[in-house]
Amino acid sequence: MTNTPHLLADEVTVGYGRQVVLDRVTVRIDRGETVGLRGPSGCGKSTLVRVLALLHQPDQGRVSIDGTAVNAVRYAVPVALRTRVAALFQSPRAAADPRLSLTDLIAEPLRATRTPEAAVRERVTELADLVGLTADLRSRRPHAVSDGQLQRACLARALVHRPDYLLCDEATAMLDASTQAHVAAVIRDYQLTRQAGVLVISHDQTLLERWSDRIVDLAGTAPART
């Protein structure tokens, strides 16, 4: 498995003020596999997701994608690298800009990378269909849709650049059982089609075991020092 393309957090250390949250943590996600991440509340799971999603620069250690180290100045990661990894978080309300329609929410990352508008429309329609958002729902803003519908838009947005790695941080925790199953099925299909590596965080042990090829325990890897 050593030569399999992978996303790697290598000896990563992150602190907030004087609190060390991750202390030389190493986690590897191979293309095509699903890694479950578990650990008690506050042990740094979401922090690790932000590091792997290239949203938070670690104090020490590094992230690499398929062997390419992310060495960005002030963490302005080049688009070609940044779009290889996407994350889906627990609360779509916190993640979604309330001013945008669901269509624009899904389209935004494409427009940010100057994708021609015709290609943007085509990709948004394809993804909205994939996650089951009707034309009526797509035209609405976040306040006018349910959490499940908004999370499906966030999933479409996460997939818009065809990432090789998808990080799901309690992504189905606040969804009802049928929406949860729908979101999980879309992620699974995407993973199989793309041979994507997936990281799953969940406090639901049954769900974690069902989804994961292997589970990494973060508990105890980071002795919190204050």
Ligand X SMILES: Nc1ncnc2c1ncn2[C@@H]1O[C@H](COP(=O)(O)OP(=O)(O)OP(=O)(O)O)[C@@H](O)[C@H]1O
What residues make contact with ligand X under the rule CB under 6 A?
Answer: 16, 21, 39, 41-47
Q: How far is the CB of 92 from ligand X (least distance, A)?
A: 16
Q: How far is the CB of 215 from ligand X (least distance, A)?
A: 15
Closer CB to ligand X, residue 89 or residue 190? 89
Q: How far is CA 11 from the centre of its chain?
A: 20
Q: How far is the CB of 105 from ligand X (least distance, A)?
A: 24
Closer CB to ligand X, residue 21 or residue 199? 21
Q: b or e along 119-141 (b: 16 or more beta carbons within 10 Å of the residue's beta carbon)?
A: ebeebbeebbeebebeeebbebb
Closer CB to ligand X, residue 41 or residue 193? 41
Q: How far is the CB of 131 from ligand X (least distance, A)?
A: 24
Q: Which helix (H) or strand (E) holds 88?
A: strand 85-88
Closer CB to ligand X, residue 19 or residue 71? 19
Closer CB to ligand X, residue 39 or residue 163? 39
Q: How far is the CB of 78 from ligand X (least distance, A)?
A: 25
Q: Which helix (H) or strand (E) holds 193?
A: helix 177-194
- C-alpha pair distances (Å), 179 with each of 34, 61, 125, 215: 20, 37, 20, 24
Contact 168, 34 (CB under 8 A): no
Contact 127, 135 (CB under 8 A): no
Q: What is the C-alpha to C-alpha distance for residues 156 and 105, in angstroms, rounded to an integer?
A: 9
Q: What is the C-alpha to C-alpha distance for residues 199 and 197, in angstroms, rounded to an integer?
A: 7
Q: How far is the CB of 171 from ligand X (least distance, A)?
A: 12
Closer CB to ligand X, residue 24 or residue 188? 24
Amino acid at position 108, single letter:
E
